[in-house]
Chain A
Amino acid sequence: MNPTLAAIFAPGLFTSSPVQIAALVCAIVAVVAGAVGMFTVIRGQSFAGEALGDIGTTGGAAAYLIAAGPLWGFGAIAVAGAAAMELIGIQRPRGRDVATGIVLGAGLGVAALLLYIDTVQDSTTGATFTIVFGSPFTITSSAIPLVIVLSVISLGIIVLLFRPLLLSSISPELAASRGIPVRLLGAGYLLALALTVALAAFTIGTILSTALLVGPAATALRLTRSPAKAVFAAALIGIATTWLGIVMAYDSYDWPPHGQGWPVSFFVVTLIFLAYLFAGLPNWRRHRATATPTDAATRA
């Protein structure tokens, strides 16, 4: 390998098994999050995505208590939370915000209790820390089959509902007038969102879960107006940023202050944010040149 490449890709990067697992899981999550995320951005439900990831940690804490598989805990609570949001009325534009907020507040309250009990039982704060910050380098290969199953389910829901869901997300009135069951589609989407977020929050942590759900999709929607292209672009941006982040985190093991590596989430989030800002640049220039108001529905 030539010296420049060797400096970027530190020795052992391609043979390290945690790195390989992290790269694989991040790619899977990026694809699913890109597809679901495009609808999340169009429907303006980023908050629901963030909230479901946060209360998924409640499930994680509960699973930790009864020593069940944490991914089951994340999944069960996220789906239950999505159902509660649906009941309170997340599909009404005015109720969306409050529905999400109430469920998040209650979910976090229960999380406080469960983490408290965890802490009292173990007299450590390790559980809090792992559950709140999570890292792709801590996934074990035994979790991969379940990760793939969940991904296939949520991706399947999105592929199956793609066209009617798109119409009912952009123009609910038009969709309803064509006899599309808007409410039912919204519920189906919410289920896919809950599964995706549970999967992402469990495998790569809540920070990256929200970042991958919203960032790449919003960036892609700034680059292209075609929904199908946007899904592909979002998946690619997600994969590129997470892989680059993993490489940088691997390299950072030699960095100051104490040579234990910088967190992957920091690198990935920074890259995603920069991508979003750069994608907005051409649009910003055009805005300044012509000062025409863009259609609010296509702005992301």
Chain B
Amino acid sequence: MFTGFMVNAWTVGSIVSIVAGLVGFFVVLRGSAFVAHAIPNGSLAGAAGASLIGVNTILGFGVFALFGALGIGVLSRRGRHDVATALALVVMLGLGALFVDLSVEYTPEIYSLLFGEILGISNNQLTTTVALALVCVIAIIVLYRPLMLSSLLPDVAAAHGISTNRINLAFLAVVALATTMTVPVVGTLLIFALMIGPPAAARSFTDRPIHAMVLSVVIALVVVWSAIALSYQTNYPVGFYVGTISAAAYAFARGWAAWARHATIRGGSDPQPAQVAGSAG
């Protein structure tokens, strides 16, 4: 279980969890779950297009991820954010349907891009993933302060000369990058579930941003490690375990927050946890 190709699975799984935990914290904070779903899914079209014209599928995927992210950013300046995201997603998927239709050999690849093949990662892929992950983590560290400020207090951010639009575009680009790095190895489903479940659970436990980020990474790691182990034992897809365990982690966190609030109300002491529970969503 810890030898041969499984070593790569554990390594990549851990790297993906760290990136998803960090980026996901901001996804949940900014209410961008739809974007986190739309970019990986829509970018599948890029992979299909690349295989149609005979280019590296990851490159096609990355180009679509970036253009999708920028498209969502530009469209939502003049309209509702969720409408812009939905339309960008369906346009990309429509192109994907066209590309798949025009090429004949692509079909079997859809399943692996949707649900990933973490148990079959080559050393070559490992290097690329590590490099892109480093870029993602550095981007999050650099953007940390302006991103926090513009997510929580947009007015104060504007007063400090931080352009909300520009920060939004930068954030979308980070999501696109994180997606491109992770989807070829773990699939669109897994990365989405990891960017929502663990951070949302972490925010139910604590209100402090740094604590929540660390906790989010820890929960993501636990989810992925147990998913890989279970998948290895049972042969069922990793995505199934990641999706359901992430949701279970969130359910547990919400339950814990509700219980903590209940306990403090009955104890009549510190009113703080009530706020924690209030920010759970």
Contact = CB atoms under 8 A, between A and B. Distances in A.
Interface string A105-119: 111111111011001
Interface centre among B90, B97, B192, B247 (most CB of A within 10 A): B90
Range class of the A interface residue count: 35 or more
Contact of A89 (B81, B94, B192, B281): B281
Interface centre among A45, A50, A280 (most CB of B within 10 A): A50
Contact of B239 (A109, A132, A273): A109
B86 A106 contact: no
A113 B241 CA distance: 9
A264 B172 CA distance: 30
Nearest to B99: A266
A281 to B, nearest CB: 10
Interface string B70-111: 000000001111110111011101110110111000011011
Contacts of B240: 109-110, 112-113, 116
A266 B244 contact: no
Contact of A94 (B85, B95, B242, B281): B281
Contacts of B243: 105-110, 112
B237 interface: yes
A263 B83 contact: no
Given A47-B34, A50-B89, A101 B192 contact: yes
Contact of B34 (A46, A106, A213, A265): A46
Contacts of A210: 86, 89-90
A218 interface: yes
A99 interface: yes
A51 B37 contact: yes
Contacts of B108: 125
B90 A211 contact: yes
Contact of A280 (B79, B98, B192, B242): B79
- Main secondary structure on B side of the interface with A: helix
Nearest to B98: A266
A85 B78 CA distance: 28
Contact of A109 (B89, B100, B241): B241
Contacts of B34: 46-47, 50, 97, 100
Given A98-B33, A98-B196, A263-B97, A112 B86 contact: no
Contact of A101 (B78, B100, B200): B200
Interface of B: 28, 31-34, 36-38, 78-83, 85-87, 89-91, 93-95, 97-98, 100-102, 107-108, 110-111, 114-115, 189, 192-193, 196-197, 200, 236-237, 239-244, 246-247, 250, 254, 279-281
Given A105-B197, A111-B189, 18 more contacts: A41-B83, A46-B86, A47-B82, A50-B89, A96-B281, A98-B196, A98-B250, A99-B281, A100-B34, A101-B37, A105-B243, A106-B193, A106-B247, A112-B239, A214-B87, A262-B102, A266-B94, A266-B97
The 10 closest A-B pairs by CB, nearest first: A109-B243, A95-B281, A269-B94, A105-B193, A101-B33, A106-B247, A101-B196, A112-B239, A47-B34, A113-B240
